[in-house]
Homo-oligomer: A and B are copies of this chain.
Amino acid sequence: MSAFESTIKETAALIETALDDFLPQSDGPLGRVVDAMRWGALDGGKRLRPFLVIAAADMFDAPRARSIRVGCAVEMIHCYSLVHDDLPAMDDSDLRRGRPSVHKKFDDATAILAGDALLTQAFEILAELETHPDGNVRCAVALELARASGKAGMVGGQMIDIYAEQKDFDLAGVTQLQRLKTGALIRFGAVGGGLIAEASSDEVAALAAYAEDLGLAFQIVDDILDATADAETLGKPAGQDAEMDKATFIKLLGMDGAKSKAAELVERCKSHLDPFGDAAAPLKGAADFVFERKS
């Protein structure tokens, strides 16, 4: 098993446990929203973003207690965005990670609120003393996550995406869309790990460059998979992009062009981590994983 594979398996388990602790069930009247938050956040994805946080922070020997919390925060943001994205008014998806989406399992109102609560709790976690003894460090991480998640980050990207179905994007447009809609949180993963570890600004910049290239490669591979895989492997409906005639990297570069662009980005992204030596092995392995994944 590679350094990446063992690390991401380990960090996924740590994140699952931590998220479970952050979302304790209760029988009282407040229990329903927590149940819905748990449905949206637990037993799910690869936990790529938290892995980036933890693997980046590990390079500087930051205490895992801190990086796990930052990982939970970014995962809650990621999960809230999926909960809202699946809503009838948005992508209208019944299925997510092979299971009913939150609004199908519960109802639309509960899903809206569960998403809101997950987003809110991400910032609660970052603000707490346990995340880092220095409030300035906690604020630096929170500020980075808020910017990555907000109107000029992920949410801005989602807004553009809604109109992507009706617009002809050129390569610059699709790249900007990716950079905001999916790239911003991936970038935060690596940057957040550097910040919680109190890395230097040069080190944080190298992590940012790594993650920007990684994120773009991730999205191109996502487009390739959507065009080629089936629903069972993906865990969600396939072929949606083509059905909606959406501008994607495939449409603009062709399948071969997309595959070679992804390959180039993966090599470049790993090279940003050369200054970190062997400690960068898990993060470099992540780049290879992104390129080779089937779902």
Contact = CB atoms under 8 A, between A and B. Distances in A.
B158 A113 contact: yes
Given A120-B150, A151-B33, A143 B128 contact: yes
Interface in A224-281: none
B127 A139 contact: yes
Interface string A172-216: 010010001000000000000000000000000000000000000
A159 to B, nearest CB: 4
A87 interface: yes
Contacts of A34: 151
A110 interface: yes
A156 B23 CA distance: 13
B117 A150 contact: yes
Interface residues of A, number: 56
Interface stretch (A1-9, A13-21, A60-68, A129-137): A129-137
Given A84-B113, A84-B116, A135-B137, 11 more contacts: A30-B151, A30-B160, A32-B163, A89-B112, A110-B159, A117-B151, A120-B150, A127-B143, A127-B146, A128-B143, A134-B135
Interface of A: 29-30, 32-34, 37, 80-81, 84, 87-90, 107-110, 112-113, 115-117, 119-121, 123-124, 126-129, 134-140, 142-143, 146-147, 149-152, 155-156, 158-160, 162-163, 173, 176, 180
